[in-house]
Amino acid sequence: MKSHAQVVVIGGGVVGCSVLYHLTKYGWKDVMLIERSVLTSGSTWHAAGGFHTLNGDTNMAALQGYTIGLYKELEAITGMNCGLHHVGGITLADNQARFEMLKAERAKHRYMGLHTEVLGPDEIRDFTYGQVNLDGIIGALYDPLDGHLDPSGTTQAYAKAARMGGAEIVEHNRVLETNPRPDGTWDVVTEQGTVHAEHIVNAGGLWAREVGAMAGVYLPLLPMAHQYLVTDDVPEIVEILKSGKEFPHVMDPGGESYLRQEGRGFCIGFYEKPCEPWAVDGTPWTFGHELLPDELDKIEDSVTFAYARFPALQKAGVKSVIHGPFTFAPDGNPLMGPVPGLRNYWSACAVMAGFSQGGGMGKSLAEWMIHGETEVDPRGFDVARFGKWTSPGYTVPKVIENYQMRFSVSYPNEERPAARPFRTTPMYDIFDGMGAVWGQQYGLEVANYFALPGESRYETPSFKRSNAWEATAREVRAVREAVGINEVQNFGKFRVTGPNARAWLDRIMAGAIPKPGRLSLTPMLSPKGKIIGDFTVTCLSETEFRITGSYGAQDQHLRWFEANLDDGVTVENLSDRITGFQIAGPRARDLLASVTRADVSAEAFKFMDAKQITVGMVDCLVQRVSYTGDLGYEIYCDFMKQRALWNALWPAGQEFGLKPFGMRAMMSLRLDKLFGSWAREFSPDYFPGETGIDRFIRWNKAADWIGKAPAMKEKAEGPARVSCAFVVDATDADVVAYEPIWIGDKVVGFCTSGGYSHWTGKSIAMGFLPADLADTRDVEIEILGERRKATRIDGPLWDADGARMRG
């Protein structure tokens, strides 16, 4: 074993071997993998080996497609057999909501180049050779890429391809310690000696928590015990094989099961409700190629359902029961990328669908390590989407919930209840008493809307307009006609100080850095020119600034700030130390004037001004800006003084018609002005010119800001696609995101977000069209399988000249 390596990957499952292979594929040769036992130990060896592309996250779906396409490449490179069976697969829908979900997924696939199809009952019968009981089945989604493989052979193929690229693999060598050096490199202490590595990749699988703890990191993941059955020969399968065909994958979400052919019989697995977390307090180092004792009683109801859905099972004997653990994160997606707070330490954990996702995850992590960013937006699998606020007490119930709902319908407005409430502000009990219907962001309880007495405190999950409709409309009217109030806790907030603070901000941000007492809007770009942040920058003095952005992306942004920090600059995350309220609407100025002695007149307090003033008893930073597009102010104060600030604003506001409003109303109000939204219109998938955020770039500033060269190139050449807005002829369902845009019989673009503008009474969609088609006036947008007429609009539907917002 060598004593130095550029990268040490810890863990020899399919994910660790994929990372190793992709590092060599992209040019890093001095890499090694260390495995405590043998390759495939842990979860990989007993995996069912199925693969599919269906995933609600479009980037994850695309990466799953990449993974599946990679297997033939591995076979060609290594000469090894991965045991591929591309049999295709269907996902059954036994109710209208599930069928709507599948149609929505099919719509996403249209612009992604994935050739899935919606099937009716007769087509399902033909596709499954009559082996599915179709009672209650409405339809299904067919994916030709679905199939299964040999888990061990595939992992060994990754390993051989990595070795061919120069990698070293050391088995039977447990890692004992990971110790950082002052220069950011690591000493990896193993049973066979110490390796000095520039980078560490934690691909520890079942032991990822233990490996992370060696570096002082808590990774929110948990192994779950999962059971599947393999049957004896099934006569119906034997007959299908005689005809030269194979039986497809069938996922039956209503029965919590997946079924596929295994040899001359079936393999069927279950995501049962009475599930079992495994090794909650830590995975024993001695565990490896063992299985857990059979527990058929916990899948008894699921088996009964499956026997009714797939009658051929009733005659099949059970040859073997596979019961083993594999890991989940709280939301079911992988935990990948640079771990915040550590240098050169990378996570490659919680990839529960290793043979659907392992190739794409290895590709993305290798890109991140070598090039500094991924080809696709990584937010859905970025380890930084969970902050230091997570704990085992949060992770366990959340993972159980995710496992139990693995096959449940996922709605765009769904708020799942496990491990909530967990993080709350001082306003939680007050807003709860006012009828708040809660959502959560980054673990924080956030008011979605306020129900009146007698109205339901539960928003019905739906793909269509929900029972929050009237409440949202009511709150929109309150803002536009008088004044509304909501919290600003759910913003990411940073304090930047030091003698070089302005110069650093000029380099890190693409936009203008304001003068003292002013604020500006600016994108932050990656070296490739992609949008990685959308911020308000406030200048308090030449040596002190505030940055305001996405609350949910705060760890991702802080990680970027720290990785690119200059001498003479300090960045502090104030997201949970500074809070306050937003007030917005035509009476907002009157309300503010009534609770402060400061001059807040239009002349003294202009749009985009920032002032330190006292509101009631509380010293506050007040910024004249509002995402509602109305006259508005963001009022920030110390977390401990928020209740005092409320006690100043709320009683005084009654004279002006003050009402609380939530995030549902906020997202409707921003549509009136066609304001883009972070993670929708602006994300690491997009360049500034195509989104329109380039209007906030200060092109002529002297600083050599990050991403300048590719942004200038896009500006000179013009974007290939442009963001457009549409009024949609919708009825009971509005655009959410990723719906395809049609011109004639061709899909030419997709939606980034949308919703209903309650103030203007119109359904709005925002999305991309090719630049050469951007002047097209009439298009169609597919919503839940129906193509709806849509008309492009050129500007805001309300306050087009900004008179209200700026007046």
Taking only the tens place, the pLDDT of each residue in 383-408 is 999 999 999 999 999 999 999 999 89
Q: How far apart are the first and last CA of the chain?
A: 71
Mean pLDDT (the chain) is: 96
Quote the crossing angle between the two packed helices 354-371 and 14-25, to the nearest 10°.
40
Question: In percent, how much of the chain has pLDDT > 70?
Answer: 100
φ/ψ (deg, to 5) at 193? 135, -175
- More confident position, 590 or 51: 590
Q: What local confidence, expressed as pLDDT, does residue 195 receive?
A: 98
Distance CA 328, CA 276 (A): 12
Q: What local confidence, expressed as pLDDT, does residue 45 receive?
A: 79
Distance CA 334, CA 17 (A): 16
Specify the range with the lowest mean pLDDT, choosing from 54-68, 191-205, 622-636: 54-68
Which domains can be identified in the chain, with CATH numbers? 1-84+145-221+329-388 (3.50.50.60), 432-459+467-489+577-676 (3.30.1360.120), 491-575+680-697 (3.30.70.1400), 720-805 (2.40.30.110)
pLDDT of 187 strictly over 90: yes
DSSP state of 651: H
The pLDDT-based confidence of 568 (bands split at 50, 70, 90) is very high
Q: What local confidence, expressed as pLDDT, does residue 115 receive?
A: 85
DSSP code per residue over 661-695: --HHHHHHHHHHTT---BTTTBSTTS-HHHHTGGG
* H or E element at residue 497: strand 491-497
Paired tokens of 127: 């596709």
Q: What local confidence, expressed as pLDDT, does residue 109 receive?
A: 84
Helix, strand, coil percent values for the chain (each to nearest 5): 30, 30, 40
Q: HEC profile for 530-577?
A: CEEEEEEEEEEECCEEEEEEECCCHHHHHHHHHHCCCCCCEEEECCCC
pLDDT of 253 strictly over 90: yes
Measured CA distances, 458 to 6, 422, 424, 431, 663 (Å): 52, 18, 19, 15, 15
Mean pLDDT of 324-351: 97
Q: Three-class SS of residue 736?
A: coil
Distance CA 494, CA 491 (A): 10
pLDDT of 702 strictly over 80: yes
Paired tokens of 692: 């329109």
Distance CA 446, CA 531 (A): 26
Residues 127-153 pLDDT 10s: 999 999 999 999 999 999 899 999 999
Paired tokens of 688: 């500034």
Q: Specify whether the backbone of 213 is left (phi greater than 0), alpha (psi in -120 to 50) or beta.
A: alpha
Q: What local confidence, expressed as pLDDT, does residue 709 receive?
A: 98
Distance CA 161, CA 586 (A): 65
Measured CA distances, 743 to 78, 145, 770, 779 (Å): 44, 28, 11, 5
- More confident position, 59 or 662: 662
Residues 32-91 pLDDT 10s: 999 999 999 888 878 888 888 888 788 898 899 899 999 999 999 999 999 999 899 999
Label residues 249-262 b or e (16+ Cβ within 10 Å = b): bbbbbbbbbbbbbb
- More confident position, 691 or 59: 691
Residues in the chain: 807
Q: What local confidence, expressed as pLDDT, does residue 79 receive?
A: 97
Distance CA 288, CA 304 (A): 31
pLDDT of 370 strictly over 90: yes
Distance CA 427, CA 437 (A): 13
Q: What local confidence, expressed as pLDDT, does residue 110 receive?
A: 81
Q: What local confidence, expressed as pLDDT, does residue 56 receive?
A: 77
Q: What local confidence, expressed as pLDDT, does residue 211 receive?
A: 98
Mean pLDDT of 611-618: 98
Q: What local confidence, expressed as pLDDT, does residue 53 receive?
A: 83
Give the start-end residues of each E strand in 413-490.
436-441, 444-450, 483-487
Q: Specify whether the backbone of 443 is left (phi greater than 0), alpha (psi in -120 to 50) or beta.
A: left
Q: What local confidence, expressed as pLDDT, does residue 761 receive?
A: 98
